[in-house]
Homo-oligomer: A and B are copies of this chain.
């Protein structure tokens, strides 16, 4: 893309003038995690889930997974594909899972630490639809997918591309993962999540990362460069594509977030403790399988317990039950010493107050509950069916606020400011003091989306709501987007790889 220097300068000026945002940075959460259950209650959930794995077990539809579990001492009934787990074996096996690991990005400044005090915000992944205020809701497609990735690249608060913002339904299903991977590599220099629906999609991701980073599979195993989500088919089932994906990822040393999809009242009991028991059983079984495949393989404990509306059966997200379940899930993950994955979710169909307060419930509960990876941290709408461009901006603002909140208050002689208060005295003003002048530039959080003008100025400026402003922001980010440079030789090699693989897939 050749552009004139003058044009580039102009664009940069507009960028500076247009959208004010935080810089890309690691986020550390130093506050102690909140708890909603006692240590005894967590133990009760732990014991109940191990009892469930021992007596009832899981249906493991993937043959190789059954074989590996059997070799590790599990009780396998081939006729029913039922696998029962010895509690001691589970506890022993999961011990090799690391408490943290690093993920490479193609820009090393954007490498990510997962686990311990570190916090990763990933963009939404997986929606079937895409929407914005101008064009409404439409089926996911390649052009929108690329634009969405461009905005994800532009939003500094987002650490990771989340595994394809919207399904490119205008491309053939069997090979569209290649188009997504290629777009993720070209359009962003951040780490990106791959697809694990079947082992070949994992292998393609690793091959393309190998080309991009000029590293062997062995090097990538030591320094993982992608991540994926493995869902069990709750209740108590692992299907063949997910089993294949799990094994391929663990063998390659790439991290997986093992996430049962336990909607309380539908795929799990109507009680949160019951849903958590089932979630914990399924998560532990899958973590154990990953460790059996490859001891020390990086994994995350995934929590996704929410509830359905019992009057209609509709799934609900960002609810009080969701908040409690996420905090308890964090407690369970810490018990096992593995990083915790949760999500920023809402059932709202519009980028409205409901979307904001359900996402707010999600962010506060997961972050204060000690989450390490927030999947769908930005963009998810409609219970995950839609990737919204305006929701992406709304969430980015809320993520920026949470990131600022996580920076502790400085308490020292200078910040206590006793002399300054004394100097200003009763009825005075602090604007002009040397204490203020020395600090005002970085004193407070500066918003990207919030409008703090008074009513009169806001009205004169068009009385735009936050959602209207979000619309203008993503367009400005897209307009000023610059593709991160990629070695043309690598780009060519990726192009050839994708062409060859499409040929193989479609014959």
Contacts and interface: CB of A to CB of B under 8 A. Distances in A.
Given A271-B439, A348-B450, A321 B236 contact: no
Interface string A163-178: 0000000000000000
A342 to B, nearest CB: 15
Contact of A137 (B274, B315, B364, B455): B455
B273 A416 contact: yes
A410 interface: yes
Given A233-B427, A360-B356, A465-B352, A417 B314 contact: no
A24 interface: no
B316 A452 contact: yes
Contacts of A323: 405
A113 interface: no
Interface stretch (A221-229, A333-341, A430-438): A430-438
A240 interface: no
Interface in A221-259: 233, 235-237
Interface string A254-296: 0000000000111111111110111001000000000000000
A328 to B, nearest CB: 6
A268 B45 CA distance: 48
A458 B346 CA distance: 15
**Residue from the set A44, A352, A398 with the largest chain B CB neighbour count within 10 Å:** A352
Interface string A475-502: 0000000000000000000000000000
A79 interface: no
Nearest to A426: B59
Nearest to A385: B455
Interface string A86-129: 00000000000000000000000000000000000000000000
Interface stretch (A10-18, A50-58, A66-74, A138-146): A50-58
A272 B407 CA distance: 12
A31 B364 CA distance: 15
A449 interface: yes
A411 interface: yes
Contacts of A394: 353, 357
**Residue from the set A45, A277, A429, A430 with the largest chain B CB neighbour count within 10 Å:** A430
A56 B426 CA distance: 9
A463 interface: yes
A421 B56 contact: yes
Contact of A273 (B264, B278, B320, B409): B409
A411 B52 contact: no
A425 B236 contact: yes
A467 B323 CA distance: 23
A350 B465 contact: yes
B466 A354 contact: yes
A264 B444 contact: yes
B355 A430 contact: no
Contacts of A267: 429-430
Interface string A441-470: 101111001111111001100010111001
Q: How large is the interface on A (under 10, 10 to 19, 20 to 34, 35 or more residues)?
A: 35 or more
A444 B34 contact: no
A211 interface: no
Nearest to A438: B270
A265 B349 contact: no
A307 B443 contact: yes
B307 A397 contact: no
A6 interface: no
Which 10 residue pairs spanning A and B have beta carbons closest together?
Answer: A274-B417, A360-B360, A59-B426, A356-B356, A320-B404, A269-B417, A353-B466, A352-B465, A273-B415, A271-B415
Interface of A: 31-32, 34-37, 41, 44-45, 48, 51-52, 55-56, 58-59, 82, 137, 233, 235-237, 264-274, 276-278, 281, 307-316, 319-321, 323-325, 328, 347-361, 364-365, 368, 382, 385-386, 394, 397-398, 401-402, 404-405, 407-412, 414-418, 420-422, 424-431, 433, 435-436, 439-441, 443-446, 449-455, 458-459, 463, 465-467, 470
30 contacts: A36-B408, A41-B411, A44-B411, A55-B422, A56-B425, A59-B426, A82-B426, A137-B455, A269-B420, A270-B435, A271-B416, A271-B439, A274-B416, A274-B417, A310-B440, A310-B443, A320-B402, A328-B409, A348-B466, A349-B455, A352-B352, A353-B353, A353-B466, A353-B470, A354-B449, A354-B465, A356-B357, A358-B450, A360-B361, A365-B405
